Structure 1
Amino acid sequence: MPAPDPVSEQISPVLEWLAAEPADDPVIDLASLREHFARLPEPGAAGPLFQQCIEQFEARAQDLCDRFKPRLLNAALPLSRELHAAAGELVDALLGVAGGLRCLAGTARERWRPIRRIDPHALAGRALALMHEAFLLGAMSGAAAPAGLWRGVYEIVLVGGGFDAVAGTRRDASLAEAAHQLKRLLALSVLQPESLTARELVWANDYLDGVADEAVLSLDPLQPAASSFWINPVEDAPPVATIRSVPPAVAGLVHFSAYGISRAVVAQAEWLKGRVAGAEVAGLERDGELLEPDVSGLPVGLTPAEALSLMERMRDRWALPPNRMQQRRAYQYSVQVCTGLRAIWEAAQPGARSARIAEWMVFNESPGGYAIMSVAGVAGTLSAGMAVAVRRDAGHPWSICIVRWIRSDNPEQVELGLQLVAQTCTPVSIGFRGGEARSTTPALLLPPVPALRRNQAILAPAGTYGSRRFVLVHEGEHLYVAQARVLSLDMQTASIELFQYEIDPYPI
């Protein structure tokens, strides 16, 4: 009687699980996937069965991503402990399955292997798609890219044919998917994902699926240099903006530019602006009709105003990556923090005693902003682009900032990068022409700042700005009412709008 095959006995439960229906709860299904993936024998021992299992794990992992992303889409940071843990485990699972595909691609390049039937270039493209999903999920959960992600990406490229192949030096149609996935991942990474909300990240990712091929990969430096990035494939690091750091004098550097994508963004943003203006004249439902994919060619998920705001930031970061102009200095002192425009408006009222003030720690600052860290847990929700007020103590005025980036590698700790927009503020109410009758919106009046703006400005909730003229009301010791005129819309995020104004010399 022949002895049982130990490999078959080891892999049979894995194949049975893969053939079964997924659990309804993606978190339960994720735990099962990780448990069974850990049971896989080494590729050499499993032979063709390893290929069969990895391909099925790939499909299950992609299905898990599709079912898990909605949980992150509207979840504010910091995530709950359970959701944060599940997101991290899914990222690890994706990296593991991508590693399995990388092993298959390497084996497929060996002529004597029966797995040679599979195109290593196609395997590399599929592995890069999983690495891309891992990066996107990590960014949506507020976490930094896990250690080894970038090194894994570069190793997949090398196994799949090398950077000279995906850069187009050697023409090969089978490399198209790998090149597309790599360009999409690089373009998303240089958008500074920590500065975008989860909804904006998903929209930008969907948008890139159609235009990523406009980006350029090259083994030689690219022009314009101010729009280019360099990559050292032997390091576990993302692309670095040339404008911020000169490429080192080492062999094997790869250069990347998303300048071509930025030009596509400009054209589509101008088209959408025209559609919005026409819809306002015709009285169409802007949010429902303008972003239908068949009409616009743009993804769904954001309103036209949100999409335009995001597209402007995407254009800027791809065409001219931001360069730090002011030196950061390390500090360590505690500050009082109030988060959210409405909470700041209430805290800025004379004699206010707001309960929504927390203690944070400043760990570096520059003339243009701060980097702060939570020291006693986080109450409430946070998101990139929201308003935050900071002060030393109750004896100091509130400094008004906008969240430039947010990181949360664990639920108990959150780091914020803040852009300073004013050293003080005045709570006011505003009402735009065409808005709801007898309705005003709480907002903050910000004084001029010579380095930033010449005029007074208003910080208001996103979607407030509706026309050039508005009414300004300040209830202080005396009631002050004036009609004002918008001069420029200086900043627009998913949470706020900041615009300069002047008192209208010709009130209606």
Structure 2
Amino acid sequence: MSASDPVSEQLASVLEWLASEPADDPHAELNALRGRLGRLPEAAAGGAPLVQCIDEFEARVLDVCGRLKPRLLNAALPLSHELHAVAGELVEALLEVAGKLGEMAAATRERWRPVRRGDPMAVTARALGLVHEAFVVAAMGGAVTPPGLWLAAYGIVEAGGGFDALVSARPETAAADALHALKRLLALAVLQPESLTARELVWANDYLEGVADEGALSRETLMPAASSFWIDSGEDLPPIATIRSAPPVAEGLVHFSAFGVSRALTGQLDWLKERIAEAEAVGLERDGELLEPDASGLPVGLTPVEMVSLLRRMRDRWALPPNRGQSRRAYRYSVQVCVGLRAVWEAARSDGATERISEWMVYNESPGGYALMSVEGVTGSLSAGMAVALRRDAGHPWSVCIVRWIRSDSPGQVELGLQLVAQTCTPVTIGFRGGEVQSTTHALILPPLPALRRNQAILAPAGTYASRRFVLVHESEHLYVAQARVLSLDMQTANVELFQYEIDPYPI
């Protein structure tokens, strides 16, 4: 630090705290961090000491982030009160430090300001990285995107030089780094993180580190139009799918597409499927050494079967964002809900005589699904992709659904978006030829549903499907045993898989 940059008493106390060891308690650390951050002068009024402070605040908040994310990764939704509070404080701290970096980027562009000279786009890239972390932490905790996050991201881009500077960025420059950070954030946002488990979200985030540059950012409409999104930097909104809402006639719009990313992952998806088929052919476990993903450059954290399921969904959402085809109607009535495939199986088998039934409130519905809100409070574990059954009362059959998204803005309240997959179900057990586990697995027979499938289907735990043929056992007044064969695998999530089948006319 040069002699021309004296340290004020205000900054000296902040630097002294920054030099101390971080508190073990994230709550105490974040409280102290945010309190001292709020006392910093504006970036334009500082010099090298202020820049040093902001640099160290960035490292400090990222340290807390690195310690808290593993806890969120393994936490069940809804979060505990303590973890929910700390996650919320971390999100706010990340955005506050990002705002300081944005101020520093703007001041760096004004060369007469007493701020260390540097590339404002390099600072912009760091600030966008913090906004990105805030988005990930909030999504891992099941919370909606914090108000102001998108305005913060767009404001940081403008502070660093604007969207035009990013669009025209040359490779291997600071502007290219900022562009990469923005594309990664946008690509993750359009994946609909509320529909992913925390493990899937972290894996997708790590995956994007290597392929986000395949996305496109432009002032012009991008093709194919069905895969493009538009951004109004003056609104606190994420990228909006063109297929859902046509862009307004206005100046300053920015267009984004992850279609290139969806094409880039196709080769890796094919590679994984080939390796799984090879493993099955030689009798190895599908998660064994034959499927080590290092050769493909894929992140760790999921099994190969889980990767295939997630990559398929990522590809589909980037190539053709889902468009609501059915209108929703507001309702308000209570329903009985059974959460989890095993619990649904037991409820269907015992005609609803189970303690795992709770009361929820439907607040809107469409022919294809429901949106529910917890009424009694939630215990247990909820996650996107799991099976849920609901009914009006004991006189109605169980409607089987899949959790499409989950939101939890407070520990005592959870909202679920459900996709209807059957109006009734039959509990059975199944066992696949060549399966890894030499036993049967609980599953549900789902009747044909004209809007979705022509044949009967099986809803089973994720990873059950191991070959084309399987044995089906139904215990009722009479024992029914049959051999069946899979016709198509229609759905895979982190929790369940759904496939159509038929009774095999030529059993082996």
TM-score (norm 2): 0.96
Aligned amino acid, residue 73 of structure 2: L
Q: C-alpha distance in 2, partners of 1:122/1:6?
A: 25
Match of 1:402 in 2: 402
1:451 Cα offset (Å) = 1.1
Aligned amino acid, residue 239 of structure 1: P
Match of 1:216 in 2: 216
Q: C-alpha distance in 2, partners of 1:499/1:383?
A: 21
Q: C-alpha distance in 1, partners of 2:45/2:7?
A: 7
Aligned amino acid, residue 474 of structure 1: H
Match of 1:388 in 2: 388
- Asked if structure 2 preserves the Cα contact closer than 8 Å seen for 1:348 and 1:427, the reply is yes
Matched residue SS, 2:115: helix
Q: Structure 2 matches for 1:35-50, cutoff 5 A? A: 35-50=35-50
Q: C-alpha distance in 1, partners of 2:447/2:135?
A: 40
Aligned amino acid, residue 263 of structure 1: R
Q: C-alpha distance in 1, partners of 2:169/2:47?
A: 34
Q: Structure 2 matches for 1:235-314, cutoff 5 A? A: 235-289=235-289, 292=292, 294-314=294-314
Matched residue SS, 1:115: coil
1:165 Cα offset (Å) = 1.3
Match of 1:346 in 2: 346
Q: C-alpha distance in 1, partners of 2:223/2:96?
A: 37
Aligned amino acid, residue 139 of structure 2: A
Match of 1:158 in 2: 158
1:240 Cα offset (Å) = 0.2
- Asked if structure 2 preserves the Cα contact closer than 8 Å seen for 1:330 and 1:365, the reply is yes
Cα shift readout 1:134-178 (whole Å, capped 9, x = no counterpart)? 001101000111111000100111111111111127788220110
Change (3 A) 1:283 1:433: closer
Matched residue SS, 2:337: strand
Match of 2:424 in 1: 424
Matched residue SS, 2:39: coil
Match of 2:90 in 1: 90
Match of 2:113 in 1: 113
- Asked if structure 1 preserves the Cα contact closer than 8 Å seen for 2:422 and 2:449, the reply is yes
1:7 Cα offset (Å) = 7.7
Q: C-alpha distance in 2, partners of 1:9/1:430?
A: 72
Q: Which structure 2 segments of 5+ residues have no match?
A: none
- Asked if structure 1 preserves the Cα contact closer than 8 Å seen for 2:46 and 2:114, the reply is no
Change (3 A) 1:464 1:336: same
Aligned amino acid, residue 267 of structure 2: A
1:9 Cα offset (Å) = 2.5
Aligned amino acid, residue 79 of structure 1: L
Change (3 A) 1:288 1:40: farther
- Asked if structure 2 preserves the Cα contact closer than 8 Å seen for 1:10 and 1:41, the reply is no
Q: Which structure 1 segments of 5+ residues have no match?
A: none
1:381 Cα offset (Å) = 1.2
TM-score (norm 1): 0.96
- Asked if structure 2 preserves the Cα contact closer than 8 Å seen for 1:483 and 1:504, the reply is yes
Aligned amino acid, residue 100 of structure 1: K
Bigger mean CA deviation after superposition, 302-311 or 30-39? 30-39
1:332 Cα offset (Å) = 0.7
Q: Structure 2 matches for 1:358-377, cutoff 5 A? A: 358-377=358-377
Q: C-alpha distance in 1, partners of 2:498/2:270?
A: 21
Change (3 A) 1:344 1:127: same
Match of 2:13 in 1: 13
Q: C-alpha distance in 2, partners of 1:172/1:264?
A: 20
1:437 Cα offset (Å) = 6.9
Match of 2:483 in 1: 483
| 1:321 is aligned to 2:311 | no
Aligned amino acid, residue 165 of structure 2: A
Q: C-alpha distance in 2, partners of 1:484/1:120?
A: 63
- Asked if structure 1 preserves the Cα contact closer than 8 Å seen for 2:463 and 2:497, the reply is yes
Q: C-alpha distance in 2, partners of 1:115/1:282?
A: 64
Aligned amino acid, residue 72 of structure 1: L
Q: C-alpha distance in 2, partners of 1:351/1:253?
A: 55
1:282 Cα offset (Å) = 3.5
Match of 1:33 in 2: 33
- Asked if structure 1 preserves the Cα contact closer than 8 Å seen for 2:87 and 2:138, the reply is yes
- Asked if structure 1 preserves the Cα contact closer than 8 Å seen for 2:286 and 2:305, the reply is no
Percent identity over paired residues: 73
